Structure 1
């Protein structure tokens, strides 16, 4: 481990252990949950319509715009001043939906991850304020001050991006929790047909892969029992009358028919399994 990564790891661990952040985090979390309580808003911000989380894709926009502005400032001379100011402004505009989608994802975290995420958000908010100040300074003819503010803002954004990368790639926030599950095309006997009652949620194993087996309106369905969003146990969730199963952890809803996301925060569909009944025994295989 390099010295730099060791320092960052220690810093992140300290942030994660700072329970004094729980009060502010709870307050902000309440605001976010209130703003995202409707299905349309939650799905839009979670990326349920996109097939993966929206926030990581949006982060490229403000970082790219602000990075390009600084590059023009340092290499383009006075003739690039107007273009640099426009890029700063575009980055500010792009930061709003980026922050909203990130807040929606953050609200479904807990403990140390929530504390680190709060500092990540606060750092990004401060960086946006610096960039807004830079835009105003440039507009008023104070280009030198604007350049300094942009450099400071970009530096803070990159530090915050490190925290975001830690949450995604080290802690697995937003990672598809079914991505590395095995899948077998061989029919596997998992239960007696008489054991699966109407409306029940039963967890079975297929070559060590947890599968949710349920019967609704007389029809058998099988999807992965591990919620793609955060690994929640769908067999401990609820079976809804509209043909959906709801995760007990964060409320993601999936259609039993094809595993698609009906409501976020999940953005990746559940793997679907085929079901067959022969001589009173239920067998399943991956689709």
Structure 2
């Protein structure tokens, strides 16, 4: 195991971080609870998480500012100052999108996330202090502070990459789940209770069936957000809500009604033939 992987494992196992992470996550969860806020910060309107898109703004701005500070000379100073300012202005919405996603994590992922947030918050403090120094004419001090902020930014970026690519936080949990292309029998129609979600198996795939007023619907049973069991969720007004984090999907087509999910839930065509419910992917 590499030194960096050992460091990540140590952070994941440091339970002392929970003393800070748990109350902060609880506070964030309450703030982002309203549906419009949740949908915007989760990227539900985009079709994928908002946070990765937003990170390009402060990271790009501060990286280019650091480059210009290092090799740009006097003529590049106004551009470097503008980039530092742009990074500061875009850092807050980027952080809120990330906090929204992080508030749903648990255990080691939550611990790595709080360190990730701390590194990026400290980087923001550094670049803000650098901007103050630039405006007061202390250019050399400003460059040193910004360079320190850039180091923290890269550290935070590594932690974020670990969460996304090594831990799979906030990926689409249905991305590799694909049901049958041909009509396939899954259950006798008489075995499905009306107005009650029911789990069925189609080979290695699990689906949730729901019938109400003669209308039959089928969705992948694994919530695209973090893999929650939709068959254990509640159904209201033609939508099913995941019991884990409250992601809500329309039964008719799997579209996201409420985040934190940002990817649509795979929906399946249904029919009843010779007394059996059959499904196939759309």
What TM-score do you get using the length of structure 2 for normalisation?
A: 0.98
1:265 aligns with 2:243: no
2:95 match: 99
2:45 match: 49
1:74 is displaced (CA, Å) by 1.4
1:18 aligns with 2:14: yes
2:48 aligned counterpart, secondary structure: coil
1:220 match: 216
Residue 166 of structure 2: which of 153, 166, 170 is its match?
Answer: 170
Rounded to whole Å, the distance in 2 between the matches of 1:266 and 1:217 is 28
What residue ranges of structure 1 are gaps of 5+ in the alignment?
A: none
1:249 match: 244
1:58 aligned counterpart, secondary structure: helix
Q: CA-to-partner distance for each residue in 1:76-100, whole Å, 9 max, x for gaps?
A: 1011111101100000111111000
Greater shift, 202-211 or 254-263, is seen at 202-211
1:204 is displaced (CA, Å) by 1.2
Q: What is the aligned residue count?
A: 282
1:208 match: 204
What residue ranges of structure 2 are gaps of 5+ in the alignment?
A: none
1:80 aligned counterpart, secondary structure: helix
Q: Would you say the 8 A contact 1:216–1:243 is kept in 2?
A: no
Q: CA RMSD in A?
A: 0.9
1:113 match: 109
1:214 aligned counterpart, secondary structure: strand
Rounded to whole Å, the distance in 2 between the matches of 1:50 and 1:112 is 28
Rounded to whole Å, the distance in 2 between the matches of 1:202 and 1:226 is 13
Residue 33 of structure 1: which of 29, 43, 62 is its match?
Answer: 29
1:59 aligned counterpart, secondary structure: helix
Q: Would you say the 8 A contact 1:46–1:54 is kept in 2?
A: yes
Where do residues 51-200 of structure 1 align in structure 2 (5 Å cutoff)?
A: 51-200=47-196
Residue 277 of structure 1: which of 263, 269, 272 is its match?
Answer: 272
What TM-score do you get using the length of structure 1 for normalisation?
A: 0.96
Rounded to whole Å, the distance in 2 between the matches of 1:184 and 1:63 is 42
Rounded to whole Å, the distance in 2 between the matches of 1:118 and 1:72 is 31
